Structure 1
Amino acid sequence: MHRLFRVLVSVCVLGLSATAARADDSTRIAFDSFTPKSLFDLARERRAQWVPTPVWGDLSLPAGFAGPVPAIVLAHGSDGVGPGLQQWVQAFNGIGVATFIVDSFAPRGVSSTAADQTSVPAAANVMDAFQALRLLSADPRIDARRIGIMGFSRGGTVALQTAQLPFLRAVVKTGQAFALHIATYAGCSQIYTSPNVTRAPLLNLVGAADDYTHPEPCEALAAEYATLGTPVETHRYADAHHAWDSLLPVRYRADATSGYACGVIRTDIPTWVVTSERTGQVIPTDQLTAFINACMTRGAHVGRNEAAFQASREDATRFVRRVFFGQ
């Protein structure tokens, strides 16, 4: 585990303030974000609905780094920041890439959203990711042209949503975008799409035995991104349940909520028309919560699959090497 240090170094850029610290092995950085009430409020820049929220992240730089280095923003899942993320810190630091673990829950007084995904708006995680991108882009230790994002479960959904230009342009006004996206056992049953994506390379990692988010919806969404010009690579790992990189063995989570049984619910970002892909029904936005609650299920298996973790680590580091270093 990394030791956490804090010293007072103020960074201000385009209204984004941060308190940062240099450390031997890690840095905790506090930075300004917002909590939009919904993705609609984010996309439509309804800034009166963006509640200012200070959050933080942990920056780990590769040993002996020289000059600006690429970085990966790590977006956690429904159980918040856990020790398993250090496996990915070590994997990326080991190939010369910095990591920045963003904590979207603890600063908002929440430890987990597994039992109630609405306890933190999904838009908050997306906002935090974009604010982290802005923060790192202004850090002289980081190469602003090579900042990617990797997310897990709920964070995997963020890794996909941050490739949507309407979301990006609502928050980031200075031309930055994530240079790559890695979605890991993401949730893709409720999707927000447009014809306009960044076209940054996408790596989609899914588990064949995932009975929480299930592999098929994200495979279909990744294929859709490919039709829009995104270089896409998908890997499905045999016998892998949700959270195959967890440090805990496979177990049944009775509290886990899933919208998979509802079928894919698509929101078209430009028009904000919400459609059930299973039935073709247009769902009025004021009826969406009731629609999802009527078909939501509870209970799923989560836990480690060592073979899947080793394979996904190799696939992810190879992908990052290719995109960031041309290897």
Structure 2
Amino acid sequence: MKKFLALIILLLINNPDYSFAGTSSLHDLWKYFKDGKMVRFKSYNSGPFPNEFMSLKDGSYKNSPVNVDALIAYPKKGEGPFPIVVFNHSSGGARLFSNEWFKFNRQQARMLLKKGIAVMFVDNFNGRSVISAGADQAQVSTYSFYIDAFMTLEYLSKNPKINIKKVGITGWSRGGMNSLAIAEKRIRDTLISKDLYYAASIPRSVECRQSGFFRNPQPIKETKIWMVNGKDDDASHAHICEEYGEKMKANGADIKVTTKAGWGHGFEANYEPEYEKHLEAWHECPDYYTEDDGMANKDAKIDASCITYGYSVGGNKGRAFSRPFKKFFIENLL
């Protein structure tokens, strides 16, 4: 009997739809979405910095599979298929989804559910044995996050309760980088079907200079993007994102970039900005872009010689941002 039970447990753990997936911080979020379901799907780690995209191009990323946990909740009314918004976390990890000082994402999700839009919270860290990467970003590569975003989309494409043509995504900081990277054809085309795409995206507090984005973007034109950054952001410089947004637009992206005066990094957090001296910053490091051949720029470098520490997080702007946030997704997904 013990051997039989052990076999059952082993099968459950290796089942990507196992409903009690791992030790993810998303379990703490469950109390806000009592009808939600924990799910698990397969993703991968990219190769190491700086030539992360090359591991996608040559297929070697498949040698490093991981399981990604997520919490998905559906509207109470209707049978679907539903539109859905995917929430990605920052370097602080999925624990911030249930943190008392970061209410914005879960509050917006509950309101979207009432409007008939399903929601999904993704934990990019648990399957990689990471809780937070704020003080050591090298724990999880940026392209591993990008892979997760497209594996999320592929997973949803197999769910009959989801309208795969009406999938939105959002996140701030690392989650914001994810929410912009999903608009790049060359990343999508190496990972999943060219028929799949995110319909709408709100990247927030995005780092546009050190994210490995393609220097010469090839946007997925079906994705409508509203990128929102703070002018006072001392972690991610908004003017770089303004320039990158213009480059994306010139190459065919459906994108609008908004820079809000007086707003900083993580502006939706429900507290005033606070300086966090332990958080890793890369402002002194050279640019990090992916060139057309898939290689990083030759001078790309992120190491102890250029890493600094400390920037501000917070802003208490969630209430001001709430209405336009919901409006964007309602207009583009319903």
TM-score range, shorter chain: 0.7 to 0.9
Question: Is residue 44–residue 62 contact of structure 2 (8 Å, CA) maintained in 1?
Answer: no
Matched, 1:316 2:315: no
Question: Is residue 153–residue 184 contact of structure 1 (8 Å, CA) maintained in 2?
Answer: yes
Q: Match of 2:269, SS?
A: coil
Instruction: Look up the match of 1:235.
Output: 258
Question: Is residue 43–residue 166 contact of structure 1 (8 Å, CA) maintained in 2?
Answer: no
Instruction: Look up the match of 2:3.
Output: none
Distance 1:52-1:232 versus aligned 2 partners, 3 A rule:
same
Matched, 1:18 2:31: no
Matched, 1:87 2:107: yes
Distance 1:313-1:76 versus aligned 2 partners, 3 A rule:
same
1:125-148: per-residue Cα shift (whole Å, max 9, x none)? Answer: 111111111111111111011112
Q: Percent identity?
A: 23
| 1:171-186 map, 5 Å | 171-173=191-193, 175-186=195-206
| 1:206-245 map, 5 Å | 206-245=229-268
Higher mean alpha-carbon deviation, 60-69 vs 210-219, is at 60-69
Q: Match of 1:158, SS?
A: helix
Q: Match of 1:58, SS?
A: strand
Distance 1:62-1:166 versus aligned 2 partners, 3 A rule:
same
The TM-score with structure 2 as length reference comes to 0.81
Matched, 1:192 2:213: yes
2:80 corresponds to which of 62, 67, 70: 67
Matched, 1:289 2:302: yes
Distance of 1:31 and 1:55 partners within structure 2? 5
Distance of 2:206 and 2:108 partners within structure 1? 16
Instruction: Look up the match of 1:13.
Output: none
2:46 corresponds to which of 32, 36, 61: 36
Instruction: Look up the match of 1:168.
Output: 188
Distance of 2:247 and 2:323 partners within structure 1? 25
In structure 2, give the amino acid aligned to 1:198: I
Q: Match of 1:25, SS?
A: coil
In structure 2, give the amino acid aligned to 1:37: G
Distance 1:86-1:42 versus aligned 2 partners, 3 A rule:
farther
Q: Match of 1:268, SS?
A: coil
Note the C-alpha offset of 1:289: 3.4
In structure 1, give the amino acid aligned to 2:320: A
Distance of 1:213 and 1:48 partners within structure 2? 28
Higher mean alpha-carbon deviation, 247-256 vs 103-112, is at 247-256
Instruction: Look up the match of 1:118.
Output: 138
Stretches of structure 2 that go unaligned for 5 or more consecutive residues are 1-8, 21-32
Stretches of structure 1 that go unaligned for 5 or more consecutive residues are 1-7, 11-15, 275-281
Bigger relative contact order (CA 8 A; separation at least 6)? 2
* Aligned Cα root-mean-square deviation (Å): 2.4
In structure 1, give the amino acid aligned to 2:288: I
The TM-score with structure 1 as length reference comes to 0.83
In structure 2, give the amino acid aligned to 1:298: Y
